[in-house]
């Protein structure tokens, strides 16, 4: 049985299965999660357990995906450049996007 789900977090959608390790946008909350904490995703769009498929409208009521925060980090540096020709305007900035590395434990 190859059970999978589609969740929405950080403005993106992820197709996940039990045991997957995904990199997601850093989640902002009142209490900052620590490494080892459980993270619950309640915006579940679709669940397929191998026999039948459940689609949400837009989300499935009562469905959750539980994961464990494995690491917190930053992505590779990208350069952001603004330039206007013939006007001596040039701005250069670096950016590193923060992320969470999450291991999926269960789909309910």
Q: How many domains does the chain have?
A: 1
- The parent domain of residue 49 ranges over 4-107
CB 45 within 8 A of CB 13: yes
Q: What is the pLDDT of residues 84-99, one digit of tens each?
A: 999 999 999 999 999 9
Bond into 58 cis (ω within 30) = yes
Q: What's the average model confidence in pLDDT over 26-30?
A: 86
Share of the chain above pLDDT 90, in %: 90
Q: What is the pLDDT of residues 53-84, one digit of tens each?
A: 999 999 999 999 999 999 999 999 999 999 99
Alpha carbons within 13 angstroms on the beta-carbon side of residue 42 total 2
Q: What's the average model confidence in pLDDT over 16-32?
A: 92
Task: End-to-end CA distance of the chain: give it in Å, rounded.
Answer: 15
Q: Determine the pLDDT at residue 2.
A: 84
| Cβ neighbour number for residue 43 with a 10 Å cutoff | 16
Question: 81, 68, 70, 77: which is closest to 98 by C-alpha?
Answer: 77
Token pair recorded at residue 29:
């909350």
Q: Determine the pLDDT at residue 28.
A: 85
Q: Determine the pLDDT at residue 29.
A: 81
Q: Determine the pLDDT at residue 8.
A: 96
Q: Determine the Cα–Cα distance for residues 44 and 60; give it in Å rounded to an integer.
A: 6
Q: Determine the Cα–Cα distance for residues 17 and 56; give it in Å rounded to an integer.
A: 18
Q: Determine the pLDDT at residue 40.
A: 94
Residue 1 has pLDDT above 80, yes or no: no
Query: Is the torsion defined by CA of 25, 59, 19, 37 positive or negative?
Result: positive
């Amino acid at each position: 049985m190859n059970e999978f789900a589609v969740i929405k977090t950080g403005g993106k959608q992820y197709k996940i299965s039990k045991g997957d390790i995904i990199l997601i946008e850093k989640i902002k909350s009142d209490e900052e999660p620590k490494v080892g904490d459980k993270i619950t995703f309640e915006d579940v769009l679709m669940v397929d357990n191998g026999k039948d498929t459940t689609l949400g409208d837009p989300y499935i009521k009562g469905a959750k995906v539980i994961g464990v925060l494995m690491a917190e980090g930053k992505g590779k540096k990208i350069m952001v450049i603004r330039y206007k020709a013939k006007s001596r305007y040039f701005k250069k900035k670096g950016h590193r996007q923060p992320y969470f590395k999450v291991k999926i434990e269960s789909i309910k």
